[in-house]
Amino acid sequence: MSLRHAILVLLQDQEASGYDLAREFANSIGLVWNATHQQIYLELGKLNEKDMVKFRHIPQDGKPDKKMYRITEEGRDELIRWLRKPAAPPRIRDAFMVKIAGGALSDPSSILRELEDQADLRRERLTTFEDLARKLDDRNGDKDMYTYLTLRRGILDQQAWLNWAEEVRSELRRREDLTTSV
C-alpha cells in the first residue's frame, strides 16, 4: 500500500500535477513502482482529504485546468514515519516465468520466440537506464546518489535477466542436440 509513499517521494522535490506524476511513474520511479494515471488521481484525492498534500488550481487557456500538488507537513511526517518501519519484501508475480516453469507443455521454439521478445524489452530498458546513469555519473548531491543507486539496481537487474536468457538458449540448444541425435 505504498503508491502513496511513492507519490510523496516525488512531491518532495517539486510541485507537480497528476499528469506530471503519471509521466514520472512511466519513467523514473516506474523502475521500482508501477502505477497508472487513474490510480494516481485517485490516490491524490485521498492524500488531499488527509491533508498530506494540497493543491492550487492553475487555469490554463486552451488546455484544461490543472491542479498542482505539493506535499504538506503532515505528508512529510507520514513519509518519514513510513521510511522508518521495515518494508515488506516485494511479492513476485511474473507471468512469463510461470510459462517457463510450465514449459514442458509448450514447444521450445515458441518459448524461444517469446524469450527474444522479452529480451528486446530488457535490452531497451538497459540502454535507457545506462544513459540516465551516465548523465548522473558526477553524482554529487545526496539526491543524485540515490537516483543513481536506483538506476544501478535497474541495470544490474536487466543484466541478470539477459544472462539468464543466454543460459536458457544454450540449455534449449543442448536439449535439441540430444533429441535430434537419437
Partner DNA sequence: TATTGCAGCGCAATCCGTTGAATAAGTAGT
Partner DNA sequence: ACTACTTATTCAACGGATTGCGCTGCAATA
Binding DNA by CB under 7 A: which of 49, 73, 89, 91?
A: 91
Evaluate whether 53 touches 69 at the Cβ level (below 8 Å).
yes
User: For residues 169 and 100, what is the distance between their CA atoms, to the nearest angstrom?
Assistant: 12
Among 46, 96, 124, 127, binds a copy of itself (CB under 8 A): 96
Residues 6+ positions from 13 with CB-CB distance below 8 Å: 143
Residue 97 near a copy of itself by CB under 8 A? yes
| Beta carbon nearer to DNA, 42 or 112 | 42
Q: Is 91 in the site for a copy of itself (CB under 8 A)?
A: yes
All three cell numbers of 149, joined, read 543507486
6-65: contacts with DNA (CB under 7 A) = 17-20, 22-23, 34-39, 41-42, 44-45, 60-65
Q: Shortest CA distance to 55 belongs to which of 75, 71, 78, 40? A: 71
State in angstroms the smallest separation of the CB of 38 from DNA.
Answer: 4
DSSP reduced 3-state for 90: coil
Nearer to DNA, 15 or 157 (CB): 15
52 binds a copy of itself (CB under 8 A): no
131: Cβ–Cβ under 8 A, 6 or more apart, which residues?
none
In the list DNA, a copy of itself, none, the entry touching 62 (Cβ below 5 to 8 angstroms by class) is: DNA
Phi and psi at residue 112, to the nearest 5°: -60, -40
By CB under 8 A, tell whether 58 contacts a copy of itself.
Answer: no
CA-CA distance, 182 to 84, in Å (whole number)? 60
Q: Are 17 and 68 in contact (CB under 8 A)?
A: yes
**Helical packing angle, 73-84 and 3-13, nearest 10°:** 120
By CB under 7 A, name the binding residues for DNA: 1, 3, 17-20, 22-23, 34-39, 41-42, 44-45, 60-68, 91, 93
By CB under 8 A, name the binding residues for a copy of itself: 2, 5-6, 8-9, 12, 28-34, 79-80, 83-84, 86-106, 110, 114, 117-118, 121, 141-143, 145-150, 152-153, 156-157, 159-161, 163-164, 167-168, 171, 175
